[in-house]
Chains A and B, each alone.
Chain A
Amino acid sequence: MKTFILNFILISSVVLPIPGKAAEDFVYAQQSLHTRTLAASCAACHGTNGNAVKMNAEFDATALAGLDKAYIEQRLLDFRTGVRPATVMHRHANGLTLDEIKQLADYFSRQKPEKHTMPEPQTLKAVQDE
Protein backbone atom coordinates (compact mmCIF):
# COMPACT_ATOMS: atom_id res chain seq x y z
CA MET A 1 0.00 0.00 0.00
CA LYS A 2 2.81 2.34 0.87
CA THR A 3 4.52 1.43 -2.39
CA PHE A 4 1.28 2.04 -4.23
CA ILE A 5 0.87 5.50 -2.73
CA LEU A 6 4.48 6.35 -3.40
CA ASN A 7 4.10 5.21 -6.99
CA PHE A 8 0.90 7.15 -7.32
CA ILE A 9 2.58 10.30 -6.05
CA LEU A 10 5.56 9.82 -8.33
CA ILE A 11 3.45 9.09 -11.38
CA SER A 12 0.97 11.86 -10.73
CA SER A 13 3.71 14.39 -10.17
CA VAL A 14 5.27 13.45 -13.49
CA VAL A 15 2.27 12.79 -15.67
CA LEU A 16 -0.66 14.77 -14.33
CA PRO A 17 0.80 18.26 -14.37
CA ILE A 18 1.22 18.18 -18.16
CA PRO A 19 -2.26 18.63 -19.60
CA GLY A 20 -3.29 20.03 -23.00
CA LYS A 21 -0.71 21.95 -24.96
CA ALA A 22 2.15 21.05 -22.61
CA ALA A 23 1.45 17.34 -23.10
CA GLU A 24 1.56 17.81 -26.86
CA ASP A 25 4.83 19.68 -26.54
CA PHE A 26 6.16 16.84 -24.42
CA VAL A 27 5.36 14.26 -27.13
CA TYR A 28 6.68 16.65 -29.77
CA ALA A 29 10.01 17.05 -27.96
CA GLN A 30 10.28 13.30 -27.56
CA GLN A 31 9.98 12.60 -31.29
CA SER A 32 13.34 11.46 -32.41
CA LEU A 33 15.46 14.12 -34.01
CA HIS A 34 15.98 11.92 -37.00
CA THR A 35 12.30 11.56 -37.82
CA ARG A 36 11.52 15.20 -37.07
CA THR A 37 14.03 16.42 -39.66
CA LEU A 38 13.24 13.73 -42.20
CA ALA A 39 9.51 14.45 -41.91
CA ALA A 40 10.17 18.17 -42.31
CA SER A 41 11.87 17.40 -45.60
CA CYS A 42 8.46 16.25 -46.92
CA ALA A 43 7.07 19.78 -46.36
CA ALA A 44 8.07 20.99 -49.84
CA CYS A 45 5.08 19.04 -51.21
CA HIS A 46 3.08 18.06 -48.13
CA GLY A 47 3.22 21.30 -46.12
CA THR A 48 4.55 22.11 -42.65
CA ASN A 49 4.00 19.08 -40.38
CA GLY A 50 2.04 17.38 -43.15
CA ASN A 51 -0.51 20.16 -43.57
CA ALA A 52 -0.65 20.50 -47.33
CA VAL A 53 -2.12 23.65 -48.85
CA LYS A 54 -5.56 23.10 -50.39
CA MET A 55 -5.88 24.92 -53.69
CA ASN A 56 -8.84 22.82 -54.84
CA ALA A 57 -6.63 21.79 -57.67
CA GLU A 58 -6.95 18.36 -59.19
CA PHE A 59 -3.53 17.37 -57.94
CA ASP A 60 -3.22 18.80 -54.43
CA ALA A 61 -0.57 16.90 -52.48
CA THR A 62 -2.00 14.65 -49.77
CA ALA A 63 -2.35 16.28 -46.35
CA LEU A 64 -0.61 13.76 -44.10
CA ALA A 65 -1.29 15.38 -40.72
CA GLY A 66 -3.51 13.17 -38.58
CA LEU A 67 -3.93 10.38 -41.13
CA ASP A 68 -4.05 6.82 -39.83
CA LYS A 69 -0.59 5.47 -39.12
CA ALA A 70 -1.21 2.10 -40.77
CA TYR A 71 -2.64 3.82 -43.86
CA ILE A 72 0.43 6.05 -44.33
CA GLU A 73 2.76 3.12 -43.80
CA GLN A 74 0.91 0.92 -46.31
CA ARG A 75 0.86 3.72 -48.91
CA LEU A 76 4.63 4.18 -48.63
CA LEU A 77 5.17 0.43 -48.86
CA ASP A 78 2.92 0.26 -51.93
CA PHE A 79 4.84 3.09 -53.60
CA ARG A 80 8.01 1.23 -52.78
CA THR A 81 6.93 -2.03 -54.41
CA GLY A 82 5.14 -0.31 -57.27
CA VAL A 83 1.76 -1.79 -56.28
CA ARG A 84 0.55 1.80 -56.27
CA PRO A 85 1.79 3.73 -59.30
CA ALA A 86 3.28 7.15 -58.63
CA THR A 87 4.81 10.07 -60.48
CA VAL A 88 7.53 10.73 -57.88
CA MET A 89 6.67 9.04 -54.57
CA HIS A 90 8.35 5.75 -55.52
CA ARG A 91 11.66 7.68 -55.60
CA HIS A 92 11.25 8.74 -51.99
CA ALA A 93 9.69 5.51 -50.67
CA ASN A 94 12.59 3.51 -52.11
CA GLY A 95 15.18 5.75 -50.50
CA LEU A 96 13.79 5.22 -46.98
CA THR A 97 14.45 2.30 -44.65
CA LEU A 98 11.49 0.25 -43.45
CA ASP A 99 12.06 1.66 -39.99
CA GLU A 100 11.99 5.23 -41.33
CA ILE A 101 8.71 4.46 -43.09
CA LYS A 102 7.22 3.28 -39.79
CA GLN A 103 8.52 6.31 -37.94
CA LEU A 104 7.30 8.77 -40.57
CA ALA A 105 3.83 7.15 -40.53
CA ASP A 106 3.79 7.45 -36.75
CA TYR A 107 5.04 11.05 -36.83
CA PHE A 108 2.50 12.31 -39.38
CA SER A 109 -0.37 10.43 -37.71
CA ARG A 110 0.38 12.42 -34.53
CA GLN A 111 0.39 15.84 -36.20
CA LYS A 112 -2.64 18.03 -35.66
CA PRO A 113 -4.48 18.83 -38.91
CA GLU A 114 -4.37 22.60 -39.47
CA LYS A 115 -5.44 24.81 -42.34
CA HIS A 116 -2.32 26.05 -44.06
CA THR A 117 -2.45 28.56 -46.88
CA MET A 118 -0.16 30.03 -49.46
CA PRO A 119 1.18 33.52 -48.73
CA GLU A 120 -0.60 36.24 -50.76
CA PRO A 121 1.29 37.17 -53.92
CA GLN A 122 2.40 40.81 -54.08
CA THR A 123 3.40 43.32 -56.71
CA LEU A 124 7.17 43.36 -57.11
CA LYS A 125 8.55 46.59 -55.65
CA ALA A 126 10.86 48.83 -57.64
CA VAL A 127 14.16 47.93 -56.03
CA GLN A 128 17.50 47.31 -57.65
CA ASP A 129 18.28 43.66 -58.38
CA GLU A 130 21.61 42.35 -57.27
Chain B
Amino acid sequence: MNNAADFNRRDFIKTVGALGALAFSPHAVAMGKKPPIGRVVVIGGGYAGTSAAKYIRMWSMGSIEVVVIEPSPQFVSCPLSNLVLGGSQQINDLTFGYDLLKKHHGIQWVQDTVTGINSDAKKVTMQRGEISYDRLIVAPGVDFIYDHLPQLKTAEAQKQIPHAWKAGWQTVNLRQQLEVMPNGGVFVITIPKAPYRCPPGPYERICQVAYYLKAHKPNSKIIVLDANAEIVSKKGLFTKVWANNYAGMIDYRPDSAIISVDVQTKTVSTEFEQVKADVLNVIPPQRAGKPAQMANLLATDYPWCEVDFLSYESKTVANVHVIGDSVASGLPKSAHMATSQARVCASAIVELMQGRSPDPAPVFANTCYSFVDDKQAMHVANVYRYDAAKKIMVSAEGGGVSLAPSDKEGAYAKAWAHNIWSDVLT
Protein backbone atom coordinates (compact mmCIF):
# COMPACT_ATOMS: atom_id res chain seq x y z
CA MET B 1 0.00 0.00 0.00
CA ASN B 2 2.66 2.44 1.09
CA ASN B 3 4.95 1.30 -1.65
CA ALA B 4 2.35 1.97 -4.33
CA ALA B 5 1.69 5.48 -2.98
CA ASP B 6 5.39 6.18 -2.75
CA PHE B 7 5.98 4.94 -6.24
CA ASN B 8 3.30 7.21 -7.67
CA ARG B 9 4.63 10.19 -5.80
CA ARG B 10 8.15 9.46 -6.92
CA ASP B 11 7.08 9.07 -10.50
CA PHE B 12 5.17 12.29 -10.28
CA ILE B 13 8.02 14.37 -8.92
CA LYS B 14 10.30 12.94 -11.54
CA THR B 15 7.88 14.08 -14.20
CA VAL B 16 7.55 17.54 -12.66
CA GLY B 17 11.31 17.82 -12.48
CA ALA B 18 11.77 16.62 -16.05
CA LEU B 19 9.22 19.06 -17.41
CA GLY B 20 10.62 21.86 -15.32
CA ALA B 21 7.05 22.83 -14.51
CA LEU B 22 8.08 25.14 -11.69
CA ALA B 23 4.94 27.16 -11.20
CA PHE B 24 2.71 24.12 -11.05
CA SER B 25 1.73 22.84 -7.65
CA PRO B 26 -0.65 19.90 -7.50
CA HIS B 27 -1.61 20.79 -3.93
CA ALA B 28 -2.60 24.38 -4.72
CA VAL B 29 -4.43 23.40 -7.87
CA ALA B 30 -6.28 20.58 -6.15
CA MET B 31 -7.35 23.02 -3.42
CA GLY B 32 -8.56 25.48 -6.07
CA LYS B 33 -6.15 28.15 -4.82
CA LYS B 34 -3.85 30.53 -6.58
CA PRO B 35 -0.59 29.12 -7.92
CA PRO B 36 2.22 29.22 -5.35
CA ILE B 37 4.52 32.21 -5.20
CA GLY B 38 7.53 29.92 -5.26
CA ARG B 39 9.03 26.62 -4.27
CA VAL B 40 11.26 25.81 -1.32
CA VAL B 41 13.09 22.50 -1.39
CA VAL B 42 14.17 21.17 2.01
CA ILE B 43 16.95 18.58 2.16
CA GLY B 44 16.55 16.52 5.32
CA GLY B 45 13.57 15.36 7.40
CA GLY B 46 15.11 15.62 10.85
CA TYR B 47 14.13 18.11 13.55
CA ALA B 48 15.35 21.11 11.52
CA GLY B 49 13.98 20.13 8.10
CA THR B 50 10.52 19.08 9.30
CA SER B 51 10.12 22.28 11.37
CA ALA B 52 11.17 24.51 8.48
CA ALA B 53 8.79 22.73 6.07
CA LYS B 54 5.83 22.96 8.43
CA TYR B 55 6.30 26.57 9.49
CA ILE B 56 6.86 27.80 5.92
CA ARG B 57 3.55 26.22 4.95
CA MET B 58 1.82 27.67 8.04
CA TRP B 59 3.26 31.17 7.92
CA SER B 60 2.93 31.54 4.15
CA MET B 61 -0.68 30.32 4.54
CA GLY B 62 0.02 27.72 1.92
CA SER B 63 1.30 30.18 -0.68
CA ILE B 64 4.80 28.66 -0.83
CA GLU B 65 5.20 25.16 -2.20
CA VAL B 66 7.44 22.97 -0.02
CA VAL B 67 9.14 19.76 -1.13
CA VAL B 68 11.13 17.72 1.41
CA ILE B 69 13.79 15.25 0.26
CA GLU B 70 14.67 12.64 2.90
CA PRO B 71 16.25 9.22 2.33
CA SER B 72 14.82 7.49 5.43
CA PRO B 73 11.25 6.22 5.43
CA GLN B 74 10.90 7.02 9.13
CA PHE B 75 11.88 9.61 11.70
CA VAL B 76 13.91 8.16 14.58
CA SER B 77 14.48 10.54 17.48
CA CYS B 78 18.02 11.00 18.73
CA PRO B 79 16.70 12.67 21.91
CA LEU B 80 15.78 9.83 24.34
CA SER B 81 17.70 7.27 22.24
CA ASN B 82 20.36 6.92 24.95
CA LEU B 83 17.56 5.52 27.13
CA VAL B 84 17.40 2.53 24.77
CA LEU B 85 20.91 1.69 26.00
CA GLY B 86 19.76 2.03 29.61
CA GLY B 87 16.77 -0.17 28.81
CA SER B 88 13.93 2.15 29.87
CA GLN B 89 12.94 2.99 26.26
CA GLN B 90 12.66 0.87 23.13
CA ILE B 91 13.67 2.12 19.69
CA ASN B 92 10.05 1.62 18.58
CA ASP B 93 8.96 4.23 21.15
CA LEU B 94 11.07 6.78 19.29
CA THR B 95 10.24 5.89 15.67
CA PHE B 96 7.55 7.75 13.74
CA GLY B 97 6.17 8.25 10.23
CA TYR B 98 5.91 11.48 8.26
CA ASP B 99 2.31 10.96 7.07
CA LEU B 100 0.54 13.39 9.43
CA LEU B 101 3.06 16.16 8.75
CA LYS B 102 2.61 15.76 5.00
CA LYS B 103 -1.17 15.55 5.20
CA HIS B 104 -1.79 18.38 7.68
CA HIS B 105 0.41 20.89 5.90
CA GLY B 106 0.32 19.93 2.22
CA ILE B 107 4.03 19.19 2.12
CA GLN B 108 5.32 17.24 -0.88
CA TRP B 109 7.68 14.47 0.06
CA VAL B 110 10.34 12.60 -1.87
CA GLN B 111 12.05 9.63 -0.26
CA ASP B 112 15.37 9.79 -2.01
CA THR B 113 19.05 10.62 -1.62
CA VAL B 114 20.50 13.87 -2.94
CA THR B 115 23.35 13.23 -5.35
CA GLY B 116 24.13 16.77 -6.49
CA ILE B 117 23.26 20.43 -6.01
CA ASN B 118 23.65 23.06 -8.72
CA SER B 119 23.19 26.38 -6.98
CA ASP B 120 23.71 28.40 -10.20
CA ALA B 121 20.87 26.59 -11.96
CA LYS B 122 18.97 26.26 -8.62
CA LYS B 123 18.52 22.53 -9.06
CA VAL B 124 18.86 19.53 -6.76
CA THR B 125 19.65 16.16 -8.30
CA MET B 126 18.35 13.00 -6.67
CA GLN B 127 18.70 9.40 -7.72
CA ARG B 128 15.40 9.60 -9.62
CA GLY B 129 15.90 12.95 -11.33
CA GLU B 130 16.14 16.64 -10.56
CA ILE B 131 13.96 19.31 -9.04
CA SER B 132 14.18 23.10 -9.21
CA TYR B 133 13.90 25.52 -6.29
CA ASP B 134 13.54 29.22 -5.62
CA ARG B 135 15.15 28.75 -2.23
CA LEU B 136 16.88 25.70 -0.86
CA ILE B 137 17.14 24.67 2.80
CA VAL B 138 19.94 22.28 3.63
CA ALA B 139 19.31 20.42 6.89
CA PRO B 140 21.23 17.15 6.61
CA GLY B 141 22.50 16.82 10.18
CA VAL B 142 26.05 15.64 10.69
CA ASP B 143 28.42 13.56 8.60
CA PHE B 144 31.15 11.45 10.24
CA ILE B 145 34.80 12.07 9.44
CA TYR B 146 36.72 8.82 9.00
CA ASP B 147 39.95 10.37 7.65
CA HIS B 148 41.88 9.27 10.73
CA LEU B 149 39.78 6.18 11.45
CA PRO B 150 39.45 4.55 8.00
CA GLN B 151 39.00 1.14 9.66
CA LEU B 152 35.54 2.22 10.82
CA LYS B 153 34.19 3.39 7.49
CA THR B 154 32.46 0.18 6.41
CA ALA B 155 29.03 -1.01 7.49
CA GLU B 156 30.67 -4.30 8.51
CA ALA B 157 33.09 -2.52 10.90
CA GLN B 158 30.23 -0.47 12.31
CA LYS B 159 28.39 -3.69 13.16
CA GLN B 160 31.31 -4.53 15.44
CA ILE B 161 31.85 -0.98 16.66
CA PRO B 162 28.67 1.10 16.28
CA HIS B 163 28.65 4.87 16.72
CA ALA B 164 24.91 4.87 17.50
CA TRP B 165 25.07 8.65 17.06
CA LYS B 166 22.17 8.68 14.62
CA ALA B 167 19.36 6.84 16.34
CA GLY B 168 18.34 3.63 14.58
CA TRP B 169 19.64 0.10 14.18
CA GLN B 170 23.07 1.04 15.51
CA THR B 171 21.38 2.05 18.76
CA VAL B 172 19.68 -1.35 18.93
CA ASN B 173 22.97 -3.09 18.10
CA LEU B 174 24.85 -1.30 20.86
CA ARG B 175 22.15 -2.25 23.37
CA GLN B 176 22.36 -5.91 22.25
CA GLN B 177 26.14 -5.88 22.67
CA LEU B 178 25.71 -4.60 26.23
CA GLU B 179 23.15 -7.34 26.90
CA VAL B 180 25.58 -10.11 25.94
CA MET B 181 28.64 -8.51 27.57
CA PRO B 182 29.82 -10.59 30.56
CA ASN B 183 29.56 -9.23 34.10
CA GLY B 184 32.99 -7.71 34.67
CA GLY B 185 33.36 -6.61 31.05
CA VAL B 186 34.70 -3.26 29.92
CA PHE B 187 32.61 -0.75 27.96
CA VAL B 188 34.77 1.86 26.22
CA ILE B 189 33.30 5.05 24.75
CA THR B 190 35.32 7.61 22.81
CA ILE B 191 34.20 11.23 22.48
CA PRO B 192 35.38 13.49 19.62
CA LYS B 193 36.54 17.07 20.00
CA ALA B 194 33.69 19.58 20.20
CA PRO B 195 31.72 20.74 18.30
CA TYR B 196 29.73 17.59 17.68
CA ARG B 197 26.00 16.74 17.71
CA CYS B 198 24.46 16.99 21.20
CA PRO B 199 27.15 18.29 23.60
CA PRO B 200 25.86 16.47 26.74
CA GLY B 201 24.90 13.34 24.75
CA PRO B 202 28.04 11.26 25.36
CA TYR B 203 27.90 11.93 29.11
CA GLU B 204 24.19 11.08 29.23
CA ARG B 205 25.08 7.86 27.38
CA ILE B 206 27.68 7.03 30.03
CA CYS B 207 24.99 7.46 32.72
CA GLN B 208 22.60 5.20 30.80
CA VAL B 209 25.16 2.44 30.29
CA ALA B 210 26.19 2.73 33.95
CA TYR B 211 22.54 2.53 34.99
CA TYR B 212 22.14 -0.72 33.05
CA LEU B 213 25.44 -2.25 34.17
CA LYS B 214 24.92 -1.33 37.83
CA ALA B 215 21.66 -3.29 37.90
CA HIS B 216 22.67 -6.25 35.71
CA LYS B 217 26.48 -6.49 35.54
CA PRO B 218 27.80 -4.66 38.59
CA ASN B 219 31.41 -5.82 38.22
CA SER B 220 31.72 -4.12 34.85
CA LYS B 221 33.67 -0.94 34.13
CA ILE B 222 33.26 2.03 31.81
CA ILE B 223 36.32 3.73 30.34
CA VAL B 224 35.74 7.15 28.77
CA LEU B 225 38.31 8.43 26.28
CA ASP B 226 37.41 12.08 25.78
CA ALA B 227 39.28 14.09 23.13
CA ASN B 228 38.26 17.22 25.04
CA ALA B 229 40.13 18.66 28.01
CA GLU B 230 37.06 18.27 30.21
CA ILE B 231 33.39 17.28 30.16
CA VAL B 232 31.87 19.51 27.47
CA SER B 233 28.41 20.13 28.96
CA LYS B 234 26.79 20.04 32.43
CA LYS B 235 30.21 19.15 33.85
CA GLY B 236 29.45 19.72 37.53
CA LEU B 237 26.20 17.77 37.35
CA PHE B 238 27.63 14.77 35.49
CA THR B 239 30.68 14.64 37.76
CA LYS B 240 28.41 14.53 40.80
CA VAL B 241 26.08 11.90 39.33
CA TRP B 242 28.99 9.65 38.38
CA ALA B 243 30.46 9.95 41.89
CA ASN B 244 27.18 9.51 43.75
CA ASN B 245 25.11 7.11 41.63
CA TYR B 246 27.79 5.13 39.81
CA ALA B 247 30.72 5.25 42.22
CA GLY B 248 33.78 3.29 41.09
CA MET B 249 32.29 2.35 37.73
CA ILE B 250 33.43 5.21 35.47
CA ASP B 251 37.06 5.85 34.58
CA TYR B 252 37.10 9.27 32.85
CA ARG B 253 40.23 10.16 30.84
CA PRO B 254 40.37 13.69 29.35
CA ASP B 255 42.65 14.79 26.47
CA SER B 256 42.41 11.28 25.06
CA ALA B 257 41.76 11.61 21.33
CA ILE B 258 41.91 8.25 19.60
CA ILE B 259 44.31 7.84 16.70
CA SER B 260 43.51 4.30 15.58
CA VAL B 261 41.12 1.41 16.07
CA ASP B 262 41.60 -2.32 15.71
CA VAL B 263 38.20 -3.64 14.77
CA GLN B 264 38.94 -7.35 15.36
CA THR B 265 40.17 -6.94 18.93
CA LYS B 266 38.05 -3.86 19.76
CA THR B 267 41.15 -1.99 20.81
CA VAL B 268 41.60 1.77 20.51
CA SER B 269 44.86 3.69 20.67
CA THR B 270 45.46 7.21 21.90
CA GLU B 271 48.87 8.93 21.83
CA PHE B 272 49.51 7.53 25.30
CA GLU B 273 47.92 4.12 25.57
CA GLN B 274 46.01 1.21 24.10
CA VAL B 275 42.64 0.31 25.56
CA LYS B 276 40.85 -2.98 24.89
CA ALA B 277 37.08 -3.15 25.14
CA ASP B 278 34.44 -5.84 25.36
CA VAL B 279 31.95 -3.37 23.93
CA LEU B 280 33.39 -0.43 22.03
CA ASN B 281 31.46 2.71 21.08
CA VAL B 282 33.46 5.13 18.95
CA ILE B 283 31.69 8.43 18.31
CA PRO B 284 33.62 9.75 15.30
CA PRO B 285 34.47 13.41 14.70
CA GLN B 286 31.78 15.23 12.73
CA ARG B 287 31.18 17.86 10.07
CA ALA B 288 28.25 19.31 8.14
CA GLY B 289 26.22 16.64 6.31
CA LYS B 290 26.97 15.45 2.77
CA PRO B 291 24.44 17.66 0.92
CA ALA B 292 26.08 20.70 2.54
CA GLN B 293 29.41 19.48 1.20
CA MET B 294 27.94 18.99 -2.30
CA ALA B 295 26.72 22.60 -2.38
CA ASN B 296 30.14 23.89 -1.25
CA LEU B 297 28.64 25.40 1.88
CA LEU B 298 31.43 24.53 4.30
CA ALA B 299 33.85 27.19 5.50
CA THR B 300 37.37 26.79 4.16
CA ASP B 301 39.07 26.10 7.49
CA TYR B 302 36.13 24.74 9.47
CA PRO B 303 33.86 21.82 8.53
CA TRP B 304 30.58 23.62 9.25
CA CYS B 305 28.47 26.15 7.32
CA GLU B 306 28.61 29.86 8.02
CA VAL B 307 25.24 31.59 7.78
CA ASP B 308 23.54 34.94 8.26
CA PHE B 309 21.74 34.43 11.58
CA LEU B 310 18.79 36.59 10.48
CA SER B 311 17.79 34.21 7.69
CA TYR B 312 20.19 31.23 7.92
CA GLU B 313 21.14 31.97 4.31
CA SER B 314 24.61 30.65 3.53
CA LYS B 315 27.38 33.24 3.58
CA THR B 316 28.89 31.62 0.52
CA VAL B 317 25.96 30.55 -1.72
CA ALA B 318 22.92 32.74 -2.43
CA ASN B 319 19.37 31.40 -2.00
CA VAL B 320 20.66 28.41 -0.04
CA HIS B 321 19.90 28.28 3.68
CA VAL B 322 21.46 25.96 6.25
CA ILE B 323 19.83 24.97 9.56
CA GLY B 324 20.41 22.48 12.35
CA ASP B 325 23.60 20.65 13.24
CA SER B 326 25.42 21.69 10.03
CA VAL B 327 25.47 25.37 11.02
CA ALA B 328 28.75 26.90 12.23
CA SER B 329 27.85 28.68 15.45
CA GLY B 330 28.80 28.73 19.07
CA LEU B 331 25.39 27.28 19.86
CA PRO B 332 24.81 23.70 21.02
CA LYS B 333 23.86 21.28 18.23
CA SER B 334 20.62 20.14 19.86
CA ALA B 335 17.18 19.17 18.57
CA HIS B 336 15.49 22.18 20.16
CA MET B 337 18.15 24.46 18.69
CA ALA B 338 17.58 22.89 15.26
CA THR B 339 13.85 23.65 15.48
CA SER B 340 14.47 27.19 16.77
CA GLN B 341 16.87 27.92 13.89
CA ALA B 342 14.40 26.33 11.45
CA ARG B 343 11.61 28.68 12.49
CA VAL B 344 13.79 31.80 12.19
CA CYS B 345 14.78 30.55 8.74
CA ALA B 346 11.16 29.73 7.81
CA SER B 347 9.94 33.13 8.96
CA ALA B 348 12.71 34.90 7.01
CA ILE B 349 12.05 32.90 3.83
CA VAL B 350 8.33 33.66 3.97
CA GLU B 351 9.14 37.38 4.25
CA LEU B 352 11.93 37.39 1.66
CA MET B 353 9.82 35.55 -0.93
CA GLN B 354 7.17 38.24 -0.56
CA GLY B 355 9.67 41.06 -0.96
CA ARG B 356 9.77 41.98 2.73
CA SER B 357 12.56 42.00 5.32
CA PRO B 358 13.05 39.38 8.03
CA ASP B 359 13.01 40.13 11.77
CA PRO B 360 16.21 42.15 12.39
CA ALA B 361 16.68 40.82 15.94
CA PRO B 362 15.56 37.21 16.38
CA VAL B 363 15.35 35.65 19.84
CA PHE B 364 14.77 32.00 20.66
CA ALA B 365 15.11 29.44 23.40
CA ASN B 366 16.91 26.16 23.84
CA THR B 367 16.12 23.54 26.48
CA CYS B 368 18.13 20.37 26.61
CA TYR B 369 17.50 17.57 29.10
CA SER B 370 19.81 14.69 29.97
CA PHE B 371 18.61 11.54 31.74
CA VAL B 372 20.93 10.14 34.41
CA ASP B 373 18.91 6.93 34.94
CA ASP B 374 15.44 5.69 33.92
CA LYS B 375 13.58 8.55 35.64
CA GLN B 376 15.74 11.49 36.62
CA ALA B 377 16.80 14.24 34.26
CA MET B 378 18.52 17.62 34.40
CA HIS B 379 18.46 20.61 32.06
CA VAL B 380 20.60 23.21 30.45
CA ALA B 381 18.44 26.07 29.19
CA ASN B 382 19.13 29.44 27.61
CA VAL B 383 17.47 32.21 25.67
CA TYR B 384 19.60 33.37 22.74
CA ARG B 385 19.44 36.86 21.21
CA TYR B 386 20.87 38.25 18.00
CA ASP B 387 23.78 40.59 18.66
CA ALA B 388 23.71 43.16 15.86
CA ALA B 389 27.32 44.26 16.42
CA LYS B 390 28.80 40.75 16.45
CA LYS B 391 26.20 39.39 14.00
CA ILE B 392 25.84 36.17 15.99
CA MET B 393 23.37 34.68 18.46
CA VAL B 394 24.51 35.15 22.07
CA SER B 395 23.19 33.81 25.39
CA ALA B 396 20.83 36.09 27.25
CA GLU B 397 20.92 36.57 31.01
CA GLY B 398 19.42 33.93 33.23
CA GLY B 399 20.41 30.73 31.43
CA GLY B 400 21.97 27.79 33.22
CA VAL B 401 21.65 24.22 34.45
CA SER B 402 19.61 22.33 37.06
CA LEU B 403 20.79 22.26 40.66
CA ALA B 404 20.47 18.48 40.58
CA PRO B 405 18.71 15.83 38.50
CA SER B 406 15.17 15.00 39.62
CA ASP B 407 12.16 12.82 38.83
CA LYS B 408 10.18 15.99 38.19
CA GLU B 409 12.57 17.13 35.47
CA GLY B 410 12.53 13.60 34.08
CA ALA B 411 8.76 13.92 33.67
CA TYR B 412 9.14 17.34 32.04
CA ALA B 413 11.82 15.94 29.75
CA LYS B 414 9.32 13.34 28.53
CA ALA B 415 6.73 16.11 28.04
CA TRP B 416 9.37 18.00 26.03
CA ALA B 417 9.78 14.96 23.78
CA HIS B 418 6.03 14.46 23.31
CA ASN B 419 5.54 18.10 22.38
CA ILE B 420 8.53 18.50 20.09
CA TRP B 421 7.50 15.29 18.26
CA SER B 422 3.96 16.64 17.93
CA ASP B 423 5.33 19.97 16.72
CA VAL B 424 7.66 18.60 14.06
CA LEU B 425 5.66 15.54 12.91
CA THR B 426 1.96 16.52 12.97
Query: Which residues on A sit within 8 Å (CB–CB) of B385?
Result: 95
Which residue of chain B has the shortest Cβ distance to A95 in the bound complex?
B383
State in angstroms the CA–CA spacing of A67 and B216 once bound together. 47
Q: Does B274 contact A (CB under 8 A)?
A: no
Q: Does B340 contact A (CB under 8 A)?
A: yes
Is the CB–CB distance between B363 and A100 below 8 Å?
Answer: yes
Is the CB–CB distance between B397 and A36 below 8 Å?
Answer: no
Is the CB–CB distance between A44 and B339 below 8 Å?
Answer: yes
Given A53-B422, A119-B97, A128-B155, check contact A95 B365 (CB 8 Å): yes
Is the CB–CB distance between A44 and B423 below 8 Å?
Answer: yes
Q: How large is the interface on A (under 10, 10 to 19, 20 to 34, 35 or more residues)?
A: 35 or more
A94-130 CB mask vs B (1 if < 8 Å, else 0) is 1110001000000000000000111111111111111
Is the CB–CB distance between A88 and B383 below 8 Å?
Answer: no
Which of B24-32, B235-243, B248-256, B408-416 contacts the other chain?
Answer: B408-416
State in angstroms the CA–CA spacing of A100 and B411 once bound together. 28
A102 to chain B, nearest CB (A): 14
Is the CB–CB distance between A88 and B74 below 8 Å?
Answer: no
State in angstroms the CA–CA spacing of A38 and B339 once bound together. 11
Query: Which residues on B sit within 8 Å (CB–CB) of A95?
Result: 363, 365, 382-385, 395-399
A13 to chain B, nearest CB (A): 21
Which residue of chain A has the shortest Cβ distance to B384 in the bound complex?
A95
Is the CB–CB distance between A59 and B412 below 8 Å?
Answer: yes
Interface residues of A in 9-37 (CB under 8 A from B): 25, 29, 32-34, 36-37
B370-412 CB mask vs A (1 if < 8 Å, else 0) is 0000000001011111000000000111111010001011011
Is the CB–CB distance between B382 and A91 below 8 Å?
Answer: yes
Which A residues fall within an 8 A CB radius of B? 25, 29, 32-34, 36-38, 40-48, 52-53, 55, 57-61, 87-88, 90-96, 100, 116-130
Which B residues fall within an 8 A CB radius of A? 55, 59, 61, 72-74, 76, 91-97, 100, 155, 158, 166, 168-170, 172, 335-336, 339-340, 343-344, 347, 351, 358-359, 361-365, 367, 379, 381-385, 395-400, 402, 406, 408-409, 411-412, 414-416, 418-423, 425-426
